Amino acid sequence: MSHNLHTNAIIHFTSLLNRILLSASFSSTWKMAVIIPLKPLKDPTLPLSYHPISLLSALSKILEKIMNSRHVWFLEANKILSNVQYGRRKGRSALMVLSDLDAQIYEAEASHANLY
């Protein structure tokens, strides 16, 4: 993986993130978001026409990605997730859901046809 940070910066940043994870203490400033109203497609004079987005600290987003990957790894390694859980899992997609549904329909039709 290519990066532009100096090795010392990576070492200090990694140390900081590890201390946060070990202490289970997350800075309240990292939880603060800047809310930006996106330009409306409807009437700009109506407040409900605007769609807000939240911009979080880059450090907060990096920590969030690390935590997510650790949680997913734990859940996958311990086989906690159901086999029919597809959302946000590697190697699983909406097409797999549709394929499984198609197979279930086919099996139901076949078993129904065998009844007669």
- Single pTM value for the model: 0.59
What digits encode the pLDDT tens for the residues 33-63? 999 888 777 788 887 788 888 898 888 888 8
Q: CA-CA distance, 21 to 113, in Å (whole number)?
A: 57
CA dihedral 13, 17, 22, 25 (to 10 degrees): 120
Report the number of secondary-structure helices (H) and strands (E) in the chain. Answer: 3, 2
Residue 43 CB-density burial (10 A; 0-12 exposed, 13-18 middle, 19+ buried) = exposed
* Residue 115 confidence (pLDDT): 66
pLDDT at 99 over 70: yes
The more confident residue out of 116 and 17 is 17
